[in-house]
Structure 1
């Protein structure tokens, strides 16, 4: 099995697979803090899949420039097509990069980083490396918007662990993803000098969306 997962095969049905499992909840999670991003000027968008979040962001924030990074060329094509359908100015405001986020250096003007259900595809070591690589290129004004799965405490802990394990198994079979456990993004973000300023939990704590920044 290739160590690099291949998301091209699930790119087109991804939206419907998402709806069949959790309905609109994942998209609601992605867009919950959208009203707080309308003053951003330069975004680095990591693994936004078919672009449903980015299309809304570019529409709501008409001055935003964005760099979208993804290892899946098919996902990037869907993302660009969706964004161009949403706003006519996409062609001059969006750049796509078909590469690993670990190989991408953000613009010095970046004041927004988004990672929706992307960190969970990385082993802990790669996530630590990614944050260490990106953080020096950001300013104190940069917001980090992160949405991801989590293991809640209490009676929902065991069902959440079983559900997330089943998701990892499915993605292993469909894409070759080798990651099997949720990485901890809080520790490397705090080590990089960031603080979580906003958080909203969904589905009894199974999902989280958060904003981090330097205070």
Structure 2
């Protein structure tokens, strides 16, 4: 088995696997704050899978240029194809990088970072490394969009725990992902100078999407 996770095997069926598991709930999370991103000009997109979000973002924001980073060449291929079909001049506005987001050289400054269902693939130490790697490349008032799974309180807590554990097990089998629990992204984002400015949840709190804003004076 490979040492690092590989998402190539699930690249093509990923959309249908997602729909069979939670319908269109993840897609709704990704797109919820899209209207807030139409003034951004330089984006860093991490782990967007087959590119459904990025294609729509490039289509609606015609002046945006984006760097898309993913370890999966198959995912990046699908992402590029989808963006070229959906967005005018996508090939001139999109640069893909098959690399580890923790060490990939970054060509900022960025006024937008997007991590849809990506941070949950990281351990807590790796998440903190990632945020510290990206923070110096952010422009003043940059936005960071996060969508992720969440363990809510109340009646949904136990079902959410069971579902999240089951998903981690499935991804361990299919991709060799070694992460076993959701990391806490709020604390390291705050330490890096970001403040949460908006939040939306779905499925009784199982899914959350958050908008964070960077203020360099807070670093």
- Report the TM-score, using the length of structure 2 for normalisation: 0.96
Cα RMSD, aligned residues only: 0.9
Corresponding residue number in structure 1 for 2:102: 102
Corresponding residue number in structure 2 for 1:76: 76
Distance 1:139 1:92 in 2: 22
1:131-170 to 2 correspondences below 5 Å: 131-170=131-170
Deviation at 1:140, TM superposition (A): 2.0
Per-residue CA distance 1:1-55 (angstroms, 9 max, x = gap): 4331000000000000000011111000000000000000000000000000000
1:56-205 to 2 correspondences below 5 Å: 56-205=56-205
- Report the TM-score, using the length of structure 1 for normalisation: 0.98
Distance 1:212 1:3 in 2: 33
Deviation at 1:108, TM superposition (A): 2.5
4+ residue segments displaced more than 2 Å = 105-109
Deviation at 1:185, TM superposition (A): 0.2
Q: Name structure 2 gaps, 5 residues minimum.
A: none
**Match of 1:141, SS?**
strand
Deviation at 1:106, TM superposition (A): 2.6
**Match of 2:10, SS?**
helix
Corresponding residue number in structure 1 for 2:49: 49
Distance 2:180 2:76 in 1: 25
**Match of 2:66, SS?**
strand
Asked if structure 2 preserves the Cα contact closer than 8 Å seen for 1:117 and 1:149, the reply is: yes
Asked if structure 2 preserves the Cα contact closer than 8 Å seen for 1:105 and 1:134, the reply is: no
Deviation at 1:186, TM superposition (A): 0.4
Distance 1:126 1:163 in 2: 23
Asked if structure 1 preserves the Cα contact closer than 8 Å seen for 2:62 and 2:88, the reply is: no
Per-residue CA distance 1:96-117 (angstroms, 9 max, x = gap): 0000101123322310000000
Deviation at 1:139, TM superposition (A): 1.9
Distance 2:168 2:108 in 1: 34
Deviation at 1:122, TM superposition (A): 0.5
Distance 2:148 2:3 in 1: 22
Count of residues paired in the alignment: 215
Corresponding residue number in structure 2 for 1:34: 34
**Match of 1:142, SS?**
strand
Distance 2:106 2:73 in 1: 19
Deviation at 1:141, TM superposition (A): 1.8
